[in-house]
Amino acid sequence: MDDPLKTLRRRFRAWRSESRLRREFRTYQEKFVLRGLSIPDETQVSRIIGERFPGLSPRAKGTLRTIAVYHHYNWENHSLLPSLQKFGPVRHYDWGARFDHSREESWHASVKKEMNRDLAERVRSWIDRDGADVIFTYLSGALVSPETLRALRDCGVPLVNLSLNDKENFVGKIRRGLAMGSRDICRCFDLCCTSTEDALAKYVVEGAVPLYLPEGANPDVHRPHDLAKTVDVSFIGQCYGNRRETIERLRQRGVAVEAYGHGWPAGPLSAEEMVRMYSRSRINLGFGGVMGHRETYCLKGRDFEIPMSGGLYLTEHHPELERVYAVGEEIVTYSGFDDLLEKIRRLLADPAEAERIRSRGYGRALRDHTWEMRFGKVFRLLGLLAE
């Protein structure tokens, strides 16, 4: 059992974080309304980019030259890189081998500046030598400075960023007056792709051009395996928030749950083991909450990776899921512990219905939610990809 004082402190931090996010959301909504702003639709996005780059001409798929700037933590090279390569050759800048950003103090004191200088010089040299059609980045203010991004933008090709947690980290921590999230760098990009629907207004207030772009999955990696279903319920992800309590309560009610990831006794699984576990599990459990927050939800990578891997997906309900799946038909959602327990028992007792939902979810993910489809949409909006 957790120490009562630690539990109280955790709950206080969650309350404080929720209060901060609510204030941030209200502030941006007020500015958005008072300034009479609007979120650009896809036609308007294309027009804006076309006005910035009047000389762009669409290229055939397979010939698009991309410079990709991101660090491989654990999933990026399995999903982002091969999906970008479907459109043509990719030059990948990953600073991790030369510049260690795991030590926060030294990173912000000196290493970040060195990395940013190297990044700008490397990309410029690649473009001068080989040319490029687009620069794709997966960056935050903690990693890159506005000055570096302006230098990249001066290279004369569209600069596109991907951000996957603007629910919590649009602003994030403030260090030396700069936001460690997207706030202070977003206007430096030609297009900002965000998986957080309610962050679109924040981007517009800050003078950026946003595009709602949920996560996806790579079907070459996330694919079904012909394995016997030997696990009733599994969860793969970090142990934080209400996850430990929920899984312990399920076990107390007689549900056999296996949990893997940082913080769980069983530890993390490799990428291959994880995908195989999705196929071995009768039910794959999901949590939709943002780390450290009680009532804040966002789309997760597993929302797409589990169904595309052929797993039956049962996750916390929140409205954005309804934009990407037919809830109850392609995935199942729950609200609260009692609802979760009832749905687990019902699905385990009715394997035919579970199989129907699993099959429909797999078909939907494969049809609509690959990273290749996400990038294809972006490149077409930029005017870089022929139809």
Of 15-19, 42-46, 319-323, give the lowest mean pLDDT range: 15-19
Strand, helix or coil for residue 260 = strand
Q: How confident is the model at residue 242 (pLDDT cuts 50, 70, 90)?
A: confident
What pLDDT is stored for residue 5 in this prediction?
72
What pLDDT is stored for residue 113 in this prediction?
96
Q: What residues contact residue 267 under an 8 Å CB cut-off, 6+ apart? A: 260, 261
Pairing label, strands 174-175, 178-179: antiparallel
Rounded to whole angstroms, the Cα distance separating 42 from 381 reads 7
DSSP state of 102: S
Of 159-163, 268-272, 325-329, 355-359, give the lowest mean pLDDT range: 268-272
Same domain assignment for residues 353 and 364? yes
Contact 45, 380 (CB under 8 A): no
Task: Indicate if the pLDDT at residue 294 is higher than 50.
Answer: yes
For the four alpha carbons of 323, 324, 327 and 332, in that order, the dihedral sign comes to: negative
Same domain assignment for residues 77 and 204? yes
Count the helices and strands in the chain (H runs, E runs): 15, 13
H or E stretch at 247: helix 243-252
Same domain assignment for residues 377 and 364? no
What pLDDT is stored for residue 7 in this prediction?
66
Does a structural domain hold residue 5? Answer: no
What pLDDT is stored for residue 21 in this prediction?
83
Residue corresponding to tokens 């030369």: 98
Selected residue with higher pLDDT from 39 and 101: 39
Q: What residues contact residue 47 under an 8 Å CB cut-off, 6+ apart? A: none
What pLDDT is stored for residue 14 in this prediction?
67
Q: How confident is the model at residue 104 (pLDDT cuts 50, 70, 90)?
A: confident
Same domain assignment for residues 313 and 239? yes
Same domain assignment for residues 17 and 129? yes
Same domain assignment for residues 238 and 168? no
Q: What residues contact residue 53 under an 8 Å CB cut-off, 6+ apart? A: 157, 158, 190, 382, 383
Q: The domain that contains 113 carries what CATH number?
A: 3.40.50
Same domain assignment for residues 197 and 324? no
Does a structural domain hold residue 191? Answer: yes
Does a structural domain hold residue 7? Answer: no
Q: The domain that contains 325 carries what CATH number?
A: 3.40.50.2000
What pLDDT is stored for residue 314 in this prediction?
98
Rounded to whole angstroms, the Cα distance separating 123 from 130 reads 10
CA-closest candidate to residue 295, choices 9, 10, 14, 13: 14
Same domain assignment for residues 67 and 203? yes
Same domain assignment for residues 190 and 267? no
* Per-residue pLDDT tens digits for 48-82: 999 999 988 999 999 999 999 999 998 999 999 99
Does a structural domain hold residue 4? Answer: no
Mean pLDDT of 231-257: 94
Does a structural domain hold residue 340? Answer: yes
Task: Indicate if the pLDDT at residue 202 is higher than 50.
Answer: yes
Q: What residues contact residue 311 under an 8 Å CB cut-off, 6+ apart? A: 278, 279, 281, 284, 358
Does a structural domain hold residue 2? Answer: no
What pLDDT is stored for residue 292 in this prediction?
47
Task: Indicate if the pLDDT at residue 2 is higher than 60.
Answer: no
Does a structural domain hold residue 223? Answer: no
Rounded to whole angstroms, the Cα distance separating 193 from 368 reads 17
Bridge partners, 313 (sequence order): 284
Order of strands across the sheet that contains 66-69: 90-93, 66-69, 134-137, 159-163, 191-194, 210-212
Q: What is the 3-state secondary structure (H, E, C) of 138-203?
A: CCCCCCCCHHHHHHHHCCCCCEEEEECCHHHHCCCCEECCEECCCCCCHHHCCEEEECCHHHHHHH
Domain limits at 300? 231-368
Does a structural domain hold residue 203? Answer: yes
What pLDDT is stored for residue 107 in this prediction?
95
What is the largest distance, in Å, between two alpha-carbon atoms of the chain? 64
Same domain assignment for residues 153 and 251? no
Total residues found in the chain within this entry: 387
Of 8-12, 229-233, 365-369, give the lowest mean pLDDT range: 8-12
Task: Indicate if the pLDDT at residue 296 is higher than 80.
Answer: no
Count of domains for the chain: 2
Same domain assignment for residues 377 and 354? no
Same domain assignment for residues 364 and 376? no
